[in-house]
Structures are given as C-alpha cells and as structure tokens.
C-alpha cells in the first residue's frame, strides 16, 4: 500500500480489518470510527494552519475547511501523521476538559490505526507510540447501598413502560451487565427456564450469567406486553416505538428512576454494575467467581472492589480482633 493514500480512504480499510480480522465488537468499531474521524479532521485543519478543537471544529462552531475542499484533491497522507500532530491533538482534548480515561481511549485508537499503517507499509514507525496516556486519578467505584437498590427497583410504576423498566433494572442488578451488553441483548439470549443470559462482552468474549427469581418474574411480565412494540431485529429491550433501546435511553430511564426513588447521588448503569459486584463481595462471594460474572479479563480489575467493601472488612475485624 502506498503512503500516498489519503487518511480517510485508509480508515475504512482499517475498520474493516478491525471487525473481520481482530473480531472487534461493534461498539469498539463505532468508537474507533468516531475517534479517528475526529483525528482526521483535526489533522487536516492542523496541517492547513487552522485553529480547531479536537474534533476539527473551528471556534465559530463550523467544521474547518479541509484542504481537499481548497485544493480539489485529498492531501492528508499517512506520512502526514507525526508525533507533533498527535501531541497537538492530545493537547486539544485536554483543553476541552475531556477525562484522562477518554483521552487515553482516543489515543489508543490512533496508536492502533498507526500500527496498522506500519504493518501495511505506509509508515515506518508508529508516531503515536511516543505520546503517553494522561494519568487517571485512582478513584473507587461508585455504588448504591442495598437499601438504595431496593428503592430503585421498586420505583417503576405498574404500566407497560414501567414493566419494561422494572425488567431492565432487575436484570441489570441481577447480572452486573455493562450498558452496551444489556441494550445489545436479543430475546434468544434469555433463557427464563434456566434463568441465564448469554452475553457477548468486550473482545467478543461470550459468557453465561445466572439471574434470580425477581429478575425472571420481571422479564416475564415485560415480555407479555413487548410484542405490542414488536421489532423484527429481535431486540429484547425496546423503546415504545419498537426500536432497540439505546445506551442513552438506558441512562435516561435510570436517572428518572433514581429521582423517583429520592436517591440523591449521581449513578450510571456502571454504578449498578459496581453495586452488583460490591454486594456479592460483602456477602462473601469468591473474587474469582465475581471476575467471571463481570467478564473481567484480569483479576486485578475485579480486585478494585476489595477496596470498596469496608463493611465486610470491618465485620471481620470486629469478630477477630481481641481489642475490637
């Protein structure tokens, strides 16, 4: 492949390889497409001496004029990507107050893309490798108490929409699913007789997660009315218009029920996942079992919850220490 090929033409081939050869999830491919499109527009404007934000948007909120629009041909090449350009992009993201985690994810997309360009022969070295991710502050996972979870699960009204929301909240807490995992479920992923859900998680890894009677009953009640929102795709959780529920829709309904339950703390679907893990650990569940349920590749990721479960630690201390 010649290094004269334009950045944006190469992007499609890279994303196709990411999906087909590396078996990346649709969510990863979508995130990489967005991040690299932003980088491409920024790079084009940066090479043209235009001031933009990290998305390639000028201060007047208009998309910067690309050099292809000025010169009539696409001018951004693989060899235009250098360490200075990646560093400038990282600086724009920092100026936009993006979190260290978000900046790190976007830089990882560029590193992966440049690595692919190296393998294709368009670049000799990976210019993004020299740019380190910003150090993220070490924060403990946020979670709700068991009483707060109980209030949250009792929040949905006895309406069609409420039955859907109760099924979502019960399954979310019963399984610790990620937001994208839950909204990506189809009806054939649920086995109510066995009380299990089949999930495709990060890295396209499948896992089978059990759930209890409360979630089972809530899902059965929801399925009775789901057909009136019928969706040919087979999505499990639908909007009233019959479309697959989005992760945005999930966050929105969770925020509404937190407010209804008078829980005055910010919580995301991931906080429910943290609550699932923390409550299991407090009740004495094995850390490796929790790792399997959460779909963590590394036990070290799961061990974050050992720092949260002070309730269990205090109980052990009070029981065992002679001067407690």
Nearest to 43 by CA among 58, 55, 61, 60: 55
Residue 296 annotated among the catalytic residues of the structure: yes
- For 146-317, CATH number? 1.10.443.10
DSSP state, residue 133: P
Residue 142 annotated among the catalytic residues of the structure: no
Residue 178 annotated among the catalytic residues of the structure: yes
Catalytic residue from among 142, 207, 270, 304: 270
Query: CB under 8 Å, gap of 24 or more: what pairs does 42-51 form?
Result: 42/88, 42/89, 42/92, 43/7, 43/76, 43/80, 43/81, 43/85, 43/89, 44/7, 44/68, 44/75, 44/76, 46/85, 46/88, 46/89, 47/75, 47/76, 47/80, 47/85
Segment 62-108, tens digit of pLDDT: 554 444 443 333 557 788 899 999 999 999 999 999 989 899 999 99
Catalytic residue from among 202, 207, 214, 251: 202
Domain ranges of the chain: 7-120, 146-317
Q: Is the pLDDT of residue 249 over 80?
A: yes
The reported pLDDT for the residue numbered 67 is: 43
The reported pLDDT for the residue numbered 154 is: 95
Least confident range of 108-117, 128-137, 201-210, 297-306: 297-306
Q: Is 62 exposed, middle or buried (0-12, 13-18, 19+ CB in 10 A)?
A: exposed
Segment 115-169, tens digit of pLDDT: 999 999 989 999 999 999 988 766 656 788 899 999 999 999 999 999 999 999 9
Catalytic residue from among 106, 163, 274, 296: 296
Catalytic residue from among 38, 41, 273, 279: 273
Residue 305 annotated among the catalytic residues of the structure: yes
Provide the 3-class DSSP secondary structure of residue 281: helix
| Mean local confidence (pLDDT), 222-230 | 84
Residue 202 annotated among the catalytic residues of the structure: yes
Give the up-direction half-sphere exposure of residue 322: CA atoms within 13 A in the CB hemisphere.
0
Catalytic residue from among 54, 173, 222, 305: 305
Query: CB under 8 Å, gap of 24 or more: what pairs does 253-260 form?
Result: 253/165, 253/168, 254/169, 257/152, 257/155, 257/156, 257/165, 257/169, 258/152, 258/155, 260/155
Catalytic residue from among 55, 178, 257, 274: 178
The reported pLDDT for the residue numbered 230 is: 64
């Amino acid at each position: 492949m010649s290094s004269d090929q334009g950045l944006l033409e190469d992007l499609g081939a890279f994303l196709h390889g990411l999906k087909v050869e590396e078996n990346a999830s649709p969510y990863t491919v979508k995130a990489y497409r967005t991040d690299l499109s932003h980088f491409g527009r920024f790079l084009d404007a940066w090479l043209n001496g235009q001031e933009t934000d990290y998305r390639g948007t000028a201060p007047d909120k208009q998309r910067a004029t690309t050099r292809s629009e000025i010169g009539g041909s696409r001018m951004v090449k693989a060899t235009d990507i250098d360490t200075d350009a990646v560093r400038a992009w990282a600086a724009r993201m920092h100026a936009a107050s993006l979190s260290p985690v978000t900046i790190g994810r976007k830089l990882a997309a560029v590193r992966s893309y440049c690595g692919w360009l190296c393998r294709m022969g368009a670049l000799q070295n990976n210019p993004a490798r020299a740019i380190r991710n910003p150090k993220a502050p070490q924060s403990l996972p946020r979670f709700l108490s068991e009483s707060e979870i109980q209030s949250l699960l009792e929040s949905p009204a006895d309406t069609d929409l409420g039955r859907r929301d109760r099924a979502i909240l019960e399954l979310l807490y019963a399984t610790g699913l990620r937001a994208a995992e839950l909204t990506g479920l189809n009806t054939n992923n649920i086995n109510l007789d066995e009380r299990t859900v089949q999930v495709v998680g990060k890295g396209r890894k499948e896992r089978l997660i059990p759930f209890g009677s409360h979630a089972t009953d809530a899902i059965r009640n929801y399925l009775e009315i789901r057909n009136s929102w019928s969706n040919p795709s087979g999505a499990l959780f639908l909007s009233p218009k019959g479309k697959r529920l989005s992760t945005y829709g999930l966050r929105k309904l969770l925020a509404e029920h937190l407010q209804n339950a008078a829980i005055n703390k910010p919580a995301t679907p991931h906080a429910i996942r943290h609550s699932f893990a923390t409550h299991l650990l407090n009740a004495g569940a094995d850390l490796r079992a929790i790792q399997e349920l959460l779909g963590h590749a590394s036990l070290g990721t799961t061990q974050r919850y050992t720092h949260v479960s002070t309730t269990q630690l205090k109980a052990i201390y009070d029981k065992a220490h002679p001067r407690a």
